[in-house]
Amino acid sequence: MINRTKSPAVEQVFSKTVVELIAAKRDGHSLSPDEIETLIREFQQGGLADYQMTAFLMAVFFRGLSDDETAALTQSMLHSGSVLDLSSVPGIKVDKHSTGGVGDKVSLCLAPLVAACGVPVPMVSGRGLGHTGGTLDKLEAIPGFRTDLSVAKFAEIVRDVGVCMIGQTREIAPADKRIYALRDVTATVECIPLIVASILSKKLAEGIDALVLDVKVGRGAFMKDVDQARKLAHALVRVATQSGKRAVALLTDMNTPLGLAVGNSNETREAFEVLCGGGPADLIECTLALGAEMLMVGGKASSLEDARARLSLALKSGDAVRVMEKMVAAQGGDARVVAEPWRLELAPEVAVIEADRSGVVVDIDPLEIGLAAVAIGAGRTRADQAVDWGVGIELEKRVGDSVAPGEPLARLRGRDKAAGEAIAERVRRAIQIGKGPAHVGQLVIDRIEL
């Protein structure tokens, strides 16, 4: 039974037991917002056991949730902790969320660039998950940089600088943190309604007004299939809109790594190169595409073309660099690294992967590259594991490039030469050389907005 001594209001909401609610969802029935809210509240207060929540999650995994149920679950998890009040920050507050990919360091160049154009960006980011890297790990490669700020400090920096990037605190959507831990060990992660509620409960707790979503699709993403990725994107946009926020989603290709660097320090370097006017073309394009959407929902551009022009000007003028320097300094980091990325420490080069024949690079498997980066220490195989910021992989060629025998295809940075050589073989197998021509997919596959 639900513990009514802890929550007297439960009796007024409904008289069903927890078992009845789980059975109702198991049998495909809908739950009311009050029923879902009570389940989450009781879970937080100890009246609902972990095994009972797990049973509910498994029922949702197989039976799904309607948009109304997903919105109710999102709101319940959102209000399980603090919801930031950023009303003192002028303007429309906009964040961006990526579902994760290999080499995806877009947030590091995107957030300060958008802020430089006048849109406040409060961003709560995550760590690496599986074969995909995490924004927090990349930021912490900056000497002294702190991602564990209080909610009050977070709001202060957003107000004073225009952008702040931190990790999920104990105050932000704590129910989501506990529920995700259960999903992670009970094979209920890959469930669209649960993914939507998890993402949006954290994002809406930031005090944002609008959200731009980057739903990655392909071999290096969690969503491998375009139809499933589109279904996730539509659900995110619908539920965010139902929660009173403007939302836009882009489906972007993750069938090859984004940019040339995969790791932490080297990815941070590459993001700062974009801010300084350089960087790989695909990383620049992804940043501009998402940034243009953020300026549009933030009310700072009249069209996507106008938005891209404003973003390009902020790069050329150095405004984006100056905003990032201010943010890094405000969060305790060495701001010199933004304009001087070479200051970020890299591990020694332990292997060079060379072409064994002439031809064209026809494929680079992002999943294999991501797993190789994890194996060398750039990612985690356990949640409590530390990452080595300096290790990683640097691609010298992209899909479509011509190569000659002996030309470098990639470089591996690590701490152990013998271990590095073994991992280098995995990278070598991930890069395929053929006669060509190579197929280079379109970066932005679709755009979803209600």
Confidence of residue 152 (pLDDT cuts 50, 70, 90): confident
The CATH architecture of the domain made up of 94-342 is 3-Layer(aba) Sandwich (3.40)
Predicted confidence (pLDDT) per residue in 30-83, tens digit:
999 999 998 999 999 998 999 999 999 999 999 999 999 999 999 999 999 888
Q: Are 252 and 215 a contacting pair, CB within 8 Å?
A: yes
Confidence of residue 130 (pLDDT cuts 50, 70, 90): low
Find the mean pLDDT for residues 376-380. Answer: 86
Phi, psi of 35 (to 5 degrees): -65, -45
Matching CATH topology for 10-64 and 94-342?
Answer: no
Per DSSP, helices labelled H in 91-191 are 106-116, 135-139, 151-161, 174-185
Range with lowest mean pLDDT among 123-137, 312-326, 359-373: 123-137
Q: Which residues of 8-44 are buried (b: 16+ CB within 10 A; e: fewer)?
A: eebeebeebebeebbebbeeeeebeeebbbbbbbbbb
CATH for 349-434 is 3.90.1170.30
Range with lowest mean pLDDT among 13-27, 70-84, 154-168, 398-412: 13-27
Instruction: Give the CA count within 13 Å in the CB-facing half-sphere of 331.
Output: 30
User: Which pLDDT score is estimated for 118?
Assistant: 98
CA angle 106, 386, 254 (to 5 degrees): 30
User: In sequence order, what DSSP letters do the residues of 74-96 get, joined into one string?
Assistant: HHHHHTTS-----TTS-S--EEE
What is the chain's mean pLDDT, rounded? 92
Report how far residue 250's alpha carbon sits from residue 44's, in angstroms, rounded to the nearest whole number: 34
Q: Where are the domains of the chain?
A: 10-64, 94-342, 349-434
Predicted confidence (pLDDT) per residue in 81-118, tens digit:
888 889 889 999 999 999 989 999 999 999 999 999 99
- Catalytic residue IDs: 97, 176, 183, 198, 202
Range with lowest mean pLDDT among 13-17, 181-185, 437-441: 13-17
| Residue that the structure tokens 């026809």 belong to | 362
Does residue 150 carry a pLDDT above 90?
no
Find the mean pLDDT for residues 346-367. Answer: 96
Q: Is beta strand 261-263 parallel, antiparallel or unpaired with respect to 392-395? A: antiparallel
Torsion angle, alpha carbons of 399, 403, 408, 411, to 10: 10
Q: Domain spanning 10-64: which CATH class is it, in words? A: mainly alpha
Report residue 343 as tokens: 């200051």
User: Which pLDDT score is estimated for 6?
Assistant: 41
| Residue that the structure tokens 């949640």 belong to | 383
